[in-house]
Amino acid sequence: MTQNQSQAQTQPQTILAIGGHVGDMELTAGGVLASHALKGDRIVTLALTAGERGVPAGQDMAEYRVQKVREAEAFAEKLNGEAIVLDYADGELPDNMEVRLQVCDVIRRVRPSILITHFKNSMHKDHSTTHRIVNDARFFAGLASFQRELPAAFAGKLYYAENWEDAVDYRPYVYVDFDQEAYELWVEAVSQHWFVTGSKSFPYLEYYKHLARVRGIEARKQYAETFMIPEEALRLRQGEL
């Protein structure tokens, strides 16, 4: 290993996790985000909507949106990171160029070395729309001839997180393990979200805690989260068997 390669491996990374709603990336990739935060890496979450249509019974939806933004910030604070929430309505995320340019601009500002978002298929339209938006925005962000206020920035590795709502055709390809300290930090941070601990429609925290353990067992580790990568990158390169 050369000295430059060694220095590159020890330099802090920046991870940008982009979800359709506040809480999507925090749940599906939160253990890995917590693990990287403990290593000194920079964590940024971007939610294209607040996810306010999951409002608790009897609560005003506009007030819940404000709460959701606070919850995103609380999660990020636990990881010494940053939370960004765009001003689109939950369930009404437009699949247009305007949103792509906003995400492009965030990528150029944050300059992530790792980008995480939704898998292509989902039972929730905002998730599949986010997948398309992020893939296009990543392309625009890295294109030097695409003129924006900030210079081009290529978002390095792209991963799609495992989500129970995005399960059709998803198969685990990359396993990323994390230890007990990261697990506990993730659980503490993600519990800042009301829907994670208080929703009656789905046992979010229980499901993802168990999933982290199951994936960890499969990886012969304590805890893990899995990811897919772009289909064009699904190849294993080696010189011999």
Kindly indicate the confidence band of residue 9, based on its pLDDT and cuts at 50, 70 and 90.
Answer: low
**How far is it, in rounded angstroms, from Cα 117 to Cα 81?**
17
φ and ψ at residue 118, rounded to 5 degrees? -80, 155
The total number of structural domains in the chain stands at 1
Residue 6 lies in a domain: no
Residue 241 lies inside a defined structural domain of this protein: no
Closest by CA position to 37, among listed 83, 106, 4, 68: 83
The CA-based angle 24-12-112, given to 5 degrees, is: 45
**Structural domain contains residue 84:** yes
Q: What is the mean pLDDT of residues 54-75?
A: 96
Rg (CA), the chain: 18
Please tell me whether the overall predicted TM-score, pTM, comes out greater than 0.75 for this model.
Answer: yes
Q: Residue 4: inside a domain, yes or no? A: no
5 located within any domain: no
Number of CB atoms found within 10 A of residue 42's CB? 19
Question: Is 161 domain-assigned?
Answer: yes
Return the sign of the alpha-carbon dihedral for residues 118, 75, 100, 230: negative
- Whichever domain contains 81, its CATH number is 3.40.50.10320
pLDDT above 50 for 94: yes
Say if 2 falls within a structural domain: no
Domain that holds residue 210: 13-233
Is 184 part of a structural domain of the chain? yes
pLDDT digits (tens, 9 = 90+) for 98-154: 999 999 999 999 999 999 999 999 999 999 999 999 999 999 999 999 999 999 999
User: Looking at residues 181-202, what average pLDDT do you find?
Assistant: 96
